[in-house]
Amino acid sequence: MEVWLLILGMALITFAIRYSLFAFPDLRFPPLVRQGLHYVPTAVLSAIVLPGMLIPDGQQWAFNSENAYLLAGVVTIAIAALTRHLLATIGGGLLVFFALRALLGQLPV
Amino acid sequence: MSRLQQFGYGCRDSLAMIVGIVPFGLIYGALASLAGLTLWQALGMSLLVYVGSAQFIAISLLTLGSGALVILLTTFVVNLRHVLYSAALQPYVGGLPQRWRLPLAFGLTDETFAVVQRRYLARGMADYGQWYHAGVALALYLSWVGSSLVGALLGQSVPNLAGWGLDFAMLATFIGIVVPALRNQPQIAAALVASAVALLCHAWPYKLGLMAAALSGIAIGVWLEQRQTRMSNGEAG
């Protein structure tokens, strides 16, 4: 039940944001807010990516050569910087990640 | 040109995006199952919320044991970028009747925006622009919902799926979105500051460190951008 309430809440929030400016065709945001919006994706996603690489289980720092999330993450960042292509980044990143996990003997097979 | 034809063109131009969406839908569905959601809940989130990045984040927050309030707050912050899309399409969609604006707003994802914006910039609303938009939105919606369902089924039937580390797909996706956006100093500073604060505050309860990190990154980006503007104005004057 709680999960359904969460889903409904997320749906309402998401729709309200998407509908915001379609609902009020004359609405304009102040320049400061518009400026701030440009940094939202970068700030939020970076704040998820770095901890995901360095603290993969959400508890312990894993700054070591056994951490495939960290190693593959660095390679993925390099691929993204060089190709600037989303699919190439995801495909290449996943390939490197699973290759590393296999080499490190971390796959459940 | 007919409405149906435009609708078809919209579906056709969505194909490249669908190739990108389907793997994420599969992985989302699998991760949702692993996080303990039932098949209907995993599918319901895709059907009702329909925003890949926030769904991924919600699932990983659920896995980490975050509370609902934090997940809702995060959803809000992560989705704020849609205000930009809504603003960019407002000149075209704003004049349509309510029965068009509601569903088009619901389907306004990163991918939908990328495809329809190109068409609107080239031709505006000429030749049933809203039908093209509807074709894109529906094709992308169905591919997301369909692949989520298949992923959730896989997540429930494949043993040991949790041990594979599928969550790395989310990190790779976010890296692929962020890194190409780091084109100027304020964006780079926003990324660095947000990352550093997130690492320092990762132990804060309810994942509130994520909020602190996002707000710090946004603040530093805006501050640097304004400083740059002032400096270039100073030189010009």
pLDDT digits (tens, 9 = 90+) for A58-68: 788 999 999 99
Residue B195 pLDDT > 50, yes or no?
A: yes
B89 in contact with chain A, both atoms CB, cutoff 8 A: yes
Q: What percent of chain B has pLDDT over 90?
A: 50
What separation in angstroms does the CA of A24 have from each of A9, A30, B94, B129, B208? 22, 15, 8, 20, 32
**Model confidence band, residue B208 (pLDDT cutoffs 50, 70, 90):** confident
Give the domain ranges of chain A. Answer: 1-38, 41-109
Q: What is the DSSP letter of B15?
A: H
Nearest to A13 among B79, B169, B172 (CB): B79
> Is there a contact between B80 and A40 if contact means CB atoms under 8 Å apart?
yes
> Is there a contact between B176 and A86 if contact means CB atoms under 8 Å apart?
yes
Inter-residue contact B18 to B146 (CB < 8 Å): no
Q: Which of residues 33-62 of B touch A (CB under 8 A)?
A: 37, 41, 44-45, 48-51, 53-55, 57-58, 60
Average pLDDT, chain B: 89
Nearest to A46 among B48, B76, B178 (CB): B178
Question: How far away is chain B from the Cα of A105, in angstroms, using its nearest Cα?
Answer: 11
ipTM confidence: 0.90
Residue B97 pLDDT > 80, yes or no?
A: yes
Mean pLDDT of the region B159-186: 85
B38-42, B70-74, B147-151, B166-170: range with lowest mean pLDDT: B166-170
pLDDT of residue B190: 97
Question: How far away is chain B from the Cα of A50, in angstroms, using its nearest Cα?
Answer: 6
Nearest to B82 among A18, A84, A94 (CB): A18
Question: How far away is chain B from the Cα of A101, in angstroms, using its nearest Cα?
Answer: 8
Mutate to test the interface with B, among A69, A90, A94 (most CBs of B within 10 A): A90
pLDDT digits (tens, 9 = 90+) for B36-74: 899 999 999 999 999 988 898 899 888 877 788 889 988
For A26-83, the three-class secondary structure string (H helix, E strand, C coil) is CCCCCHHHHHHHCCHHHHHHHHHHHHHHHCCCCCCCCCCCCCHHHHHHHHHHHHHHHH
Mean pLDDT of the region B156-185: 85
pLDDT digits (tens, 9 = 90+) for B218-230: 999 999 999 999 9
* Helix intervals (H) in B15-67: 15-34, 39-48, 52-64
pLDDT of residue A1: 64
**Model confidence band, residue B164 (pLDDT cutoffs 50, 70, 90):** confident
Residue B162 pLDDT > 80, yes or no?
A: no
Question: How far away is chain B from the Cα of A93, in angstroms, using its nearest Cα?
Answer: 6
Higher-pLDDT residue of B225, B81 = B225
pLDDT of residue B235: 63
> Is there a contact between A19 and B86 if contact means CB atoms under 8 Å apart?
yes
Interface A-B, measured as beta-carbon pairs within 8 A, has a size of: 256
Mean pLDDT of the region B82-102: 90
B115, two tokens = 């495809």
A62, two tokens = 């894993």
Inter-residue contact B109 to B50 (CB < 8 Å): yes
How many other C-beta atoms are found inside a 10 Å radius of the C-beta of residue A66? 11
Helix axes B39-48, B52-64, angle to 10 degrees: 140
Question: How far away is chain A from the Cα of B59, in angstroms, using its nearest Cα?
Answer: 11
Residue B236 pLDDT > 70, yes or no?
A: no
pLDDT digits (tens, 9 = 90+) for B121-137: 888 888 899 999 999 99
> Is there a contact between A15 and B68 if contact means CB atoms under 8 Å apart?
no
Nearest to B175 among A18, A76, A108 (CB): A76
pLDDT of residue B206: 67
Give the domain ranges of chain B. Answer: 3-164, 182-237
What per-residue string of b and e applies to B193-228 under the rule 16 or more CB within 10 Å gives b? bbbbbbbebbeeeebebbbbbbbbbbbbbbebbeee
Nearest to A10 among B54, B167, B226 (CB): B54
Q: Which of residues 127-186 of B touch A (CB under 8 A)?
A: 160, 163-165, 167-182, 186
pLDDT digits (tens, 9 = 90+) for A24-79: 877 777 888 888 888 988 898 899 899 999 998 878 899 999 999 999 999 999 99
pLDDT of residue B237: 47
